Structure 1
């Protein structure tokens, strides 16, 4: 069963073979956790949200068509779980971001460590000041390393539009980062 791709597994889940959902969970739990965590959620919240995604996958399995990538369908659900968790009205709220690499950096010593830590904190702060949609685009494209084709499918737009959204989000992040440097 490990040889089946995600789409084939999900089609089996859709047709009643619910045990295959466990394989999908094992394949994607880390990616989803990283997605939620990088959006500024606490580790325990991120774990809960991963569970909620798979509960929704189970609930809405009949709506899965098998067209496109399973990961795109899954991340659309993940985005909705994140919106529901934080409330759709708080689109521009500020989140305190924590980079998993920061935990490792804190164990290092020296002036270089302090510079890296400050830069990471400032980047996380700038990222947290972006609107949710732009933060999601950057998390998916840069931290989760999705291809533009996958990102376009998740966002429901063309590949070109996905590239433009990433470019604009990066420009906004750069502007915020520079503003924070001058403060």
Structure 2
């Protein structure tokens, strides 16, 4: 079976074949939700924002030219949704939901190891939540969404060199925040 590329699907959507958006949704709703969840750390808000991103894709389909990668264009729209969210509401604290990671734990791990792993993930989530939005964003795009530096540069509209510097600084800040949180809990 010949599978259409993301760009080809979005170009069909742009031309009026709106049913193709369903295929893009199937391909990208999970990674997009993951990005939004890591940015907000709120499950329901992230789900709403994900729907908003797909709505914006439909509404802004005429802006997709097919010259760049669909994924880059999608994350650019997602960044705008996140920015709009933070403009509209002030963040009232972090909501850490470990349940998203529970199913990722291997079934053969002993219960105490599972608890330890969950605590580590929760601590990492807290540390990530304490980063500046810019540092959290660049880490989520590079480490969780696995975008290449060139793709991140397109999304953020900066140079590849600037992306490398931001990732390096963000990782350094994440390590410091994680270490600080860990020493406070002991």
TM-score, normalized by length of structure 2?
0.84
CA distance in 2, matches of 1:52, 1:85: 11
Deviation at 1:112, TM superposition (A): 3.1
- Listed as ranges, the matches of 1:120-159 within 5 Å are 120-159=121-160
User: What stretches of structure 1 of length at least 5 have no aligned partner?
Assistant: none
8 A contact 2:43–2:97 mirrored in 1? no
CA distance in 1, matches of 2:162, 2:92: 25
Aligned length: 181
Deviation at 1:38, TM superposition (A): 2.2
1:141-166 CA deviation, whole Å, 9 max, x = no partner?
A: 11111221221111112222212111
Residue 117 of structure 2 corresponds to residue 116 of structure 1: yes
- C-alpha RMSD over aligned residues: 2.4
Residues 1:133 and 1:182: Cα distance change in structure 2 (over 3 Å) = same
For 1:97, the equivalent position in structure 2 comes to 96
For 2:179, the equivalent position in structure 1 comes to 178
SS at match of 2:40: coil
For 1:46, the equivalent position in structure 2 comes to 46
CA distance in 1, matches of 2:23, 2:2: 8
CA distance in 2, matches of 1:140, 1:96: 20
For 1:75, the equivalent position in structure 2 comes to 75
CA distance in 1, matches of 2:120, 2:41: 20
TM-score, normalized by length of structure 1?
0.85
For 1:10, the equivalent position in structure 2 comes to 10
8 A contact 2:13–2:61 mirrored in 1? yes
Residues 1:181 and 1:149: Cα distance change in structure 2 (over 3 Å) = same
CA distance in 2, matches of 1:31, 1:162: 20
Deviation at 1:114, TM superposition (A): 3.7
Residues 1:103 and 1:22: Cα distance change in structure 2 (over 3 Å) = closer
CA distance in 2, matches of 1:19, 1:83: 28
CA distance in 1, matches of 2:23, 2:131: 35
8 A contact 1:38–1:97 mirrored in 2? no
8 A contact 2:36–2:49 mirrored in 1? yes
CA distance in 1, matches of 2:141, 2:50: 15
CA distance in 2, matches of 1:47, 1:2: 31
